[in-house]
Every structure is written in C-alpha cells, then in structure tokens.
Amino acid sequence: MIMCLNLTNVLFTDRPSTPTVSVLDTQTEGGPVTNIARCTSSGFYPATIIVTWQLGNEPTMQNQVVHVTSIDNGLFSVTATFKHAVQRTDNGKNLTCSISHESLTSPLVGTGAIYVLCKYTKHFHIFCSIAIYIR
C-alpha cells in the first residue's frame, strides 16, 4: 500500500518577537522630515506582516518605510523606520510601534516616550533635539 501526503495544505507559523523601538539620530526642531525611530522584530513565518506607528493618540501610516528580510533559519525579520519632523509639541508623547501577524491573536506593541530637549544659545537661537526613552 502506498500513501501520499499532500503537504501543500499544511501551514506552519512562527510568532514575531516583541518589537523594539529605538532612536536613530539626534534631530533638530523645525528641520525636515527625517528618520527618527526604528522598530524591529524577528523570528516570524510567513513573511507577511503589518507594522503601524502611533505618535501620541494619532495613528500615522504615511511616515514609515518597512523592510522584511529573510534570516538564516527560514524565518523573517522586519525593520520599520518612522519619519517625522520634530516639534516641541512632541515632548512627552508616546511613539508606539504595533506588529500584526497571522500567528498572533492581538498585535505586539513596543513603546518609547519622546522627549524634546531645547537649549538657547547666546544669540537667542533655539536648538532642540529628540530623545526616545524605551519603556
């Protein structure tokens, strides 16, 4: 007796890791829209994944670049970069990265608090930079 198994209907999934939010570079207030933060997660399969950002209470999808790459063991990793023009009004806001994947029943979330640090020069110019503190 010969038995054939059809493996095309078998679906294997692996969960992504909890996302990590990190600051990319010091930014100055009033500058151009630049990359301010990165969200990373790895260890998931299949490759289809959704990354969303929220600044304060405002969801913001238009300011991101997402890259999914294959890693050694056949699993995938994702890096999403958040772009934003830093303003003093961003001070104290949470920057949240959420990851949705078919292996999850609810999104995984990584959050950092934004602090905008300003200093005045002797010529009354204001220079502000951003720092993100991970919670």
Dump pLDDT digits (tens) for 15-70.
787 777 776 655 555 666 677 788 889 888 899 999 999 999 888 876 788 999 99
pLDDT at res. 115 = 78
Domains of the chain, CATH where assigned: 16-134 (2.60.40.10)
Separation CA 131–CA 117 (nearest Å): 8
Residue 90 has pLDDT above 90, yes or no: no
Q: Which residue has the higher pLDDT, 120 or 82?
A: 82
Given a contact cutoff of 8 angstroms between Cβ atoms, the answer to whether 49 and 78 are in contact is: yes
| Res 3: pLDDT | 35
Q: What gap in Å lies between CA 132 and CA 7, rounded to an integer?
A: 46
Instruction: State both tokens at 49.
Output: 């994944």
The pLDDT value given to residue 114: 81
Provide the 8-state DSSP code for 29. Answer: T
